[in-house]
């Protein structure tokens, strides 16, 4: 069972999928924003293994528009395959556009064509995780592998972070027999605006100056949809 939602530790995440403008044009719009967004980190690749129930409950809760949603994933940075040295287990709880995230470091593992669900179980067992996480994880399985490149920016006042995700790719992953040959690449650019819930009153000043379409977008949902499309 996931922990209770904690509004005091929550933040808003507003997403914009931009498919009518190229990346340089999108970044130029961000740089020209009156809030003075500037790059704060070197861009880096983000990799995720999403976990879900056998019935894909997390996926269908999102698709159906359910207000209370959950997500579980393993995240790491850098190379997609090979020796994964610093993976992190993340649980996300959403209430509308507000989200909580709880993270735990995991033991290293190797992601290659010999990867199975048993690999993950050994990772969980060898990691220092609280008891409640095992109760959740025993009901989940690998559902999707994805990867993208993220650029990080922050406004001048330091209370709104805006990220740009490009080079999105999605891979089929299952309990075993993972060749990772079945994959889909997307040309979309996903812009995310993230800020503490205390700053919601200021958010309109930021979003009104962004020439992008606010959308209900989930990389996990998009990835599952892409994989299902490839199977039909």
For residue 164, is it within any domain? yes
Return the CATH number at 129. Answer: 2.40.320.10
Q: Is residue 1 part of a domain?
A: no
Rounded Cα gap, residues 141 and 151, in angstroms: 30
Render the burial of 101-140: b for 16+ CB within 10 Å, e for the rest: eeeeebeebebeeebebebbeebbeebebeeebeebbeeb
**For residue 231, what pLDDT is reported?**
60
The answer to whether the Cα torsion of 179, 143, 108, 138 is positive or negative is negative
pLDDT of residue 60: 96
- Give the SS3 label for residue 128: coil
* Half-sphere exposure in the Cβ direction for 232 (13 Å, CA): 6
Cα–Cα distance for residue pair 180/207, rounded to 1 Å: 38
Residue 42 in tokens: 């070197």
d(CA 145, CA 224): 10
pLDDT < 50 stretches in the chain: none
Helix, strand, coil abundance in the chain, percent, nearest 5: 25, 40, 35
What backbone torsions phi and psi does residue 190 show, to the nearest 5 degrees?
A: -110, 120
- 194-228 tens-digit pLDDT: 999 999 999 999 999 999 888 877 999 999 998 88
Residue 141 domain-assigned? yes
Note the pLDDT tens digit of each residue in 71-97.
999 999 999 999 999 999 999 999 988
Please report where in the chains the tokens 């989200």 appear, as a residue.
Answer: 99
- Give the strand pairing for 183-186 and 161-171: antiparallel
Report the C-alpha gap between 173 and 176 in whole angstroms.
8
According to DSSP, the β-strands at 141-154 and 68-77 are unpaired
At which residue do the structure tokens 């079945």 appear? 182
Number of domains in the chain: 1
Token pair 């490839």: residue: 230
- Residue 103 lies inside a defined structural domain of this protein: yes
Residue 55 has a CB neighbour count (10 Å cut-off) of 8
2 located within any domain: no
3-state DSSP assignment of residue 57: helix
- Per the structure, the complete domain to which residue 212 belongs is given by 7-231
């Amino acid at each position: 069972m996931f922990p209770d939602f904690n509004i005091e530790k929550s933040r808003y995440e507003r997403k914009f999928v931009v498919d009518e403008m190229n990346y340089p044009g999108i970044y130029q719009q961000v740089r020209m924003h009156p809030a003075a967004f500037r790059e704060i980190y070197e861009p880096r690749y983000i990799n995720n293994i999403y976990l879900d129930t056998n019935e894909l409950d997390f996926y269908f809760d999102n698709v159906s528009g359910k207000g209370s949603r959950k997500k579980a994933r393993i995240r790491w940075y850098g190379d997609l395959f090979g020796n994964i040295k610093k993976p992190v287990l993340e649980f996300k709880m959403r209430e509308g556009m507000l989200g909580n995230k709880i993270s735990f470091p995991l033991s290293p593992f190797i992601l290659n064509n010999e990867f199975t669900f048993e690999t993950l179980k050994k990772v969980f067992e060898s990691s220092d995780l609280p008891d409640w996480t095992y109760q959740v994880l025993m009901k989940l399985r690998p559902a999707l592998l994805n990867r993208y490149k993220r650029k990080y920016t922050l406004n001048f006042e330091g209370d709104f972070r805006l990220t740009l995700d490009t080079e999105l790719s999605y891979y089929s992953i299952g309990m075993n027999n993972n060749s990772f040959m079945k994959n889909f690449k997307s040309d979309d650019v996903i812009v995310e605006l993230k800020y503490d819930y205390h700053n919601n009153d200021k958010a309109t000043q930021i979003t009104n100056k962004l020439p992008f379409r606010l959308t209900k977008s989930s990389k996990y949902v998009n990835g599952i949809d892409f994989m299902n499309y490839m199977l039909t």
